């Protein structure tokens, strides 16, 4: 009878041993997952959202090859106000003037290039500058109670894979401008709120 009892295993004790082994393995795996490392200097650099982005070229009118990411078209389903003064005598095109935040120059962006794509003709602009293209495709709506970034529905992208990167570029462009506006209002006494107290942009 004593020998039979000696061969028995307490299930509670066995489960406790297994739990202890499991916790020990978990502790070891967590310990192996971390180690102290110096922060690399390049971590302080401002990220460039389009670094490494593949600028695939497409053939458009007259056999011209252009990166698809650069091509922005007017959305034919959204009315765009044109200058009515010429009364049809001279063909005019929708255009924008955007400040290039890298070159600090004002860039004229005319939508005067007719591109036929899959049987339809679109009025397009070719915009190589990522930050100019971002400012065309996105806008900052200050009419809301809480201002926010919105899509400008007047425009369409041939390469829609870049949308997330363009939004990040727009955020980088607009955040310094908003801070300057807030600082100026605070200094002039128009606002009692320091720019450091403002919430981040909402997308």
Summarised one tens digit per residue, pLDDT across range 7-26 is: 565 665 566 667 767 666 66
Q: How many CA atoms lie within 13 A of 92 on its CB side?
A: 13
In a domain, 163, yes or no: yes
In a domain, 30, yes or no: no
Check if the beta carbon of residue 73 is closer than 8 Å to that of residue 153.
no
In a domain, 88, yes or no: yes
pLDDT in tens, 90-117: 778 899 999 998 899 999 999 999 999 9
Taking the C-alpha atoms of residue 26 and residue 30, their distance in angstroms, rounded to an integer, is 6
Residues ≥6 apart with Cβ < 8 Å to 75: 153, 154, 155, 156
In a domain, 36, yes or no: no
Number of folded domains that form the chain: 1
Mutual orientation of helices 130-137 and 163-188 as an angle, nearest 10°?
80
Element housing 123 (H / E): strand 120-126
Checking if the pLDDT of 172 tops 70, the result is yes
Return the number of other C-beta atoms located less than 10 Å from residue 92's C-beta. 14
Residues ≥6 apart with Cβ < 8 Å to 108: 95, 96, 97
Q: How buried is 165 (Cβ within 10 angstroms: 0-12 exposed, 13-18 middle, 19+ buried)?
A: middle
In a domain, 13, yes or no: no
In a domain, 34, yes or no: no
State the pLDDT at residue 35: 74
Residues for the chain: how many in total? 203
State the pLDDT at residue 197: 44
In a domain, 128, yes or no: yes
Residue 170 structural domain: 57-197
Q: How many CA atoms lie within 13 A of 154 on its CB side?
A: 17
**pTM given for the model:** 0.66
């Amino acid at each position: 009878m004593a020998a039979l009892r000696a061969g028995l295993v307490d299930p509670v004790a066995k489960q406790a041993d297994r739990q202890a082994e499991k916790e020990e393995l978990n502790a070891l795996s967590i310990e192996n997952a971390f180690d102290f490392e110096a922060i690399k200097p390049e971590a302080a650099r401002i990220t460039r959202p389009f670094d490494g982005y593949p600028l695939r070229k497409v053939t458009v009118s007259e056999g011209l090859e252009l990166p698809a990411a650069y091509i922005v078209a007017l959305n034919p389903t959204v009315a765009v106000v044109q200058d009515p003064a010429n009364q049809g005598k001279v063909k005019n095109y929708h255009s924008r003037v955007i400040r290039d935040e890298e070159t600090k120059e004002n860039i004229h962006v005319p939508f005067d290039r007719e591109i036929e794509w899959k049987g339809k003709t679109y009025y397009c602009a070719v915009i190589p500058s990522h930050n100019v293209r971002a400012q065309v495709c996105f806008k900052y709506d200050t009419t809301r109670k809480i201002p926010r970034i919105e899509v400008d529905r007047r425009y369409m992208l041939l390469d829609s894979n870049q949308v997330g990167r363009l939004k990040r570029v727009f955020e980088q462009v607009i955040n310094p401008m908003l801070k300057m506006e807030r600082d100026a209002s605070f200094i002039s006494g128009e606002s009692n709120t320091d720019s450091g107290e403002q919430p981040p942009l909402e997308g």
